[in-house]
Amino acid sequence: MNRVFLLLITATLIGCGARAEVAKEKLLTKIDSILGEMDVKRKQIEVSVDAFKDGIGGLRKAKIKAQVRQDQISRQVAPLNQKLKKLDTSLGRLRDHLATGEAAAIIGKTYSPEELKTMGDKLLTARKELVDQIAGYQRSQESLQLVVDSLERKQTEYQQRLARLESQIAEIDSKTIALKAMKDASGAMGEGEKSMAENVDDLEDTVNDLYADVEVELLTEDQKWNAEETTAEIDAVDAFISATQDPTDTLAEIDKILKTTE
């Protein structure tokens, strides 16, 4: 009787041991599978995050370029404003001569009333074109400021998003460490194998949620940095500056006229 009882107990223990081994193997297989998937996803995210960082760097460079262009325009406008001031002075003097209706001697040369009127028309035309050019530079500066402000907002927004991404990635990495710890601990599984299996399931759900959040953050189309659009904005300003950088024939004529009237 006792012998039969011992055999039954032994068979039960062996059966429990076998079931425990099967449960442990299943759990280890699942943990390995999760870790394998996490490793693949982690590498994919790393590539995307690196590209995201490059985008932020591109925004920073584009903003600096726009600010440099603003400074260049300011330096170009300054001498034009000086020319305009001198031109207005010359127009004031010419007006006094025109008001008399008589010939006038200017720097050793005598000009008839008709010649004075012709010179006045040239000065007025030159002044209008000079004012238009200055206004064009000012419009360019205003457009550049809009670009700088836009790039500043985008850069700030994307840096904040990057910080969130890095925080989520750090949390994913911590879950990886926890899974590896569970894998190591599974060798000592006993009565708590069911609880550990539940913990692995919970951890898997948490990791999947984290990956989903990261992917949404990386794939939001309406918030993606558009390198081509930003470059086009800067290039358009560059084209304007190039087109207006050299003095026109009219401005050269102004210089010539001002020299003869000073």
pLDDT digits (tens, 9 = 90+) for 220-248: 544 455 556 656 655 655 665 555 444 44
Residue 189, φ and ψ in degrees, nearest 5: -60, 140
Q: Residue 81's pLDDT is what? A: 92
pLDDT > 70 in the chain, percent: 69
Q: Residue 220's pLDDT is what? A: 56
C-beta separation of 165 from 49 below 8 A: yes
The answer on pLDDT for 98 being more than 60 is yes
The answer on pLDDT for 173 being more than 50 is yes
Tokens of 135: 């206004």
Residue scoring higher pLDDT (255 or 55): 55
Q: Residue 261's pLDDT is what? A: 47
C-beta separation of 148 from 64 below 8 A: no
Average pLDDT over residues 150-179: 84
pTM above 0.85, yes or no: no
The answer on pLDDT for 208 being more than 50 is yes
Q: Residue 94: name the closest of 133, 122, 134 by CA.
A: 122
Q: Residue 165's pLDDT is what? A: 83
List strand residue ranges (DSSP E) for the chain, in order. 104-106, 109-111
Spatial distance between the Cα atoms of 129 and 29, rounded to a whole number of angstroms: 80
Give tens-digit pLDDT for 32-86: 888 888 888 888 888 888 888 887 888 888 888 888 888 888 888 999 999 999 8
pLDDT bin (cut points 50, 70, 90) of residue 20 is low
Q: Of 5-14, 146-155, 166-175, which gets the smallest average pLDDT?
A: 5-14
The mean of the pLDDT values for the chain is: 74
